[in-house]
């Protein structure tokens, strides 16, 4: 009887302690009273990002030299362009993740359930096309490896491309049909039809050019992941795996096929963005820091990385 009572009391203490700890965490994370809810995805010249400092992953906005503000939106990964915002976030019932699409007033356009851990997000410059990548482990052909799904949504046609797997794929001029293909890291050209993405298969990666209308994908370059096409559509920035296994950002000139390594020498595992026609941005965790930070580096391989925003990820420069 005593043992039973002792058991009940101990379990009650553990329950209370656990609930108290979670409750305290939620309370501690209340947004700082100043400057919330003021996000404006139509305000050009500013940067939207996911704030990494507080731990609740709120989306923040900052103008050059201005004060930063955070809103109520909380995302694992986000992007915004042309007034359209995509926010990849967790959802409780059914347990999983979703892509939340918002218009220029941050009103919901729709949500898309995505099956896997959010990884990349992108919106075309006009705000019409939206893309995301999620990854899963455990269901790939190769036990212990991952698989990815890249999806696209057309906000004008309300058309959902749940994955790219039914697109016609060409590698080295020949149809490519292997069951282990994975697609990730979509980026859109200005025509809202052409896009670039990564193909992974048989331990190799390729830069793909895709066409939404003909539903085709063509490999144009090898060893290139998570592309970001430049505003003028002439160059693509991507991460390229080096000999030691680390990724380094490179920029490919699509007309000449010339590839240059950018000045950032640290490992960068991110889908880059273009701040302007000559500057590439990305997030990486600086040595010794606890959180990632947003950096910018010249797109021609010159110069050095410059810190844009500490404790931030998912940079989305609004133009």
Binding site for other proteins (CB under 8 A): 3-4, 6-8, 10-11, 14-15, 17-18, 21-22, 25-26, 29, 55-58, 74, 76, 89-96, 113-117, 119, 135-139, 141-146, 148-149, 151, 162-163, 165, 179-180, 269, 285, 292
Q: Nearer Cβ to other proteins, position 82 or 118?
A: 118
Min dist. Cβ of residue 12 to other proteins (A): 10
**At closest approach, how far in Å is the CB of 164 from other proteins?**
11
Smallest separation (angstroms) from other proteins to the CB of 278: 27
Strand order in the sheet with 129-137: 117-123, 129-137, 146-154, 159-161
Rounded Cα–Cα distance for residues 237 and 207 (Å): 11
Give the nearest distance from C-beta 246 to other proteins in angstroms: 10
Contact 91, 116 (CB under 8 A): no
**HSE-CB of 300 using CA atoms within 13 angstroms:** 5
Q: Which is nearer to other proteins, 60 or 151 (CB)?
A: 151
- C-alpha to C-alpha distances, 22 to 18, 114, 283, nearest whole angstrom: 6, 27, 29
Give whichever of 96 and 301 is closer to other proteins, judged by the CB atom: 96
Taking the complex as a whole, the smallest distance from the CB of residue 314 to other proteins amounts, in Å, to 10
CB atoms within 10 A of CB 35: 14
Nearest distance from residue 256's CB to other proteins, in Å? 30
In terms of Cα–Cα distance, which of 223, 225, 224, 192 is closest to 210? 192
Distance CA 80, CA 102 (A): 9
Would you say 26 or 156 has its CB closer to other proteins?
A: 26
Tell me whether residue 23 or residue 45 sits nearer to other proteins (CB atom): 23
Task: State which residue, 299 or 308, has the beta carbon closest to other proteins.
Answer: 308
Cα distances (angstroms) measured from residue 99 to each of 31, 60, 142, 274: 23, 18, 27, 23
75 vs 217 by CB, closer to other proteins: 75
Question: How many CB atoms are located within 10 Å of the residue 73 CB?
Answer: 21
Max CA-CA distance within the chain?
83
Cβ 147 to other proteins shortest distance, Å: 8
Q: Which is nearer to other proteins, 206 or 209 (CB)?
A: 206
Q: Which residues of 271-287 are buried (b: 16+ CB within 10 A; e: fewer)?
A: bbbbbeeebbbbbbbee
Instruction: For the CB of residue 58, give the shortest distance to other proteins in the complex, in Å.
Output: 8
List Cβ neighbours of 206 (8 Å cut-off, separation of 6 or more): 171, 198, 199, 219, 220, 221, 222, 223, 224
């Amino acid at each position: 009887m005593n043992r039973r009572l002792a058991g009940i009391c101990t379990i009650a203490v553990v329950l209370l302690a656990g609930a108290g700890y979670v409750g305290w965490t939620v309370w501690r994370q209340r947004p700082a009273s100043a400057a919330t809810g003021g996000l404006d995805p139509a305000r050009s010249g500013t940067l939207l990002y996911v704030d990494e400092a507080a731990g609740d992953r709120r989306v923040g906005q900052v103008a050059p030299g201005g004060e930063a503000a955070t809103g109520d939106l909380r995302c694992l990964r986000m992007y915004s362009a042309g007034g359209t915002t995509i926010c990849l976030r967790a959802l409780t019932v059914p347990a999983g993740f979703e892509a939340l699409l918002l218009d220029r007033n941050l009103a919901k356009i729709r949500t898309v359930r995505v099956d896997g851990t959010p990884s990349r997000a992108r919106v075309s410059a006009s705000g019409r096309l939206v893309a995301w990548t999620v990854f899963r482990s455990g269901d790939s052909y190769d036990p212990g490896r991952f698989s990815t799904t890249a999806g696209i949504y057309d906000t004008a046609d309300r058309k959902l491309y749940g994955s790219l797997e039914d697109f016609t794929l060409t590698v080295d001029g020949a149809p490519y049909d292997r069951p282990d293909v994975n697609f990730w890291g979509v980026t859109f050209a200005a025509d809202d039809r052409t896009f670039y993405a990564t193909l992974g298969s048989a331990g190799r990666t390729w830069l793909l050019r895709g066409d939404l209308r003909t539903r085709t994908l063509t490999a144009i370059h090898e060893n290139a992941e998570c592309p970001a096409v430049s505003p003028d559509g002439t160059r693509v920035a991507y991460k390229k795996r080096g000999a030691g296994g680390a990724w380094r950002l490179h920029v490919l000139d699509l007309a000449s096929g010339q590839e240059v390594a950018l000045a950032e020498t640290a490992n960068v595992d991110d889908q880059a963005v273009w701040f302007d026609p000559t500057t590439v941005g990305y997030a990486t965790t600086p040595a010794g820091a606890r959180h990632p930070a947003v950096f910018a580096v010249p797109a021609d391989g010159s110069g050095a990385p410059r810190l844009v925003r500490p404790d931030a990820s998912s940079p989305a420069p609004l133009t």
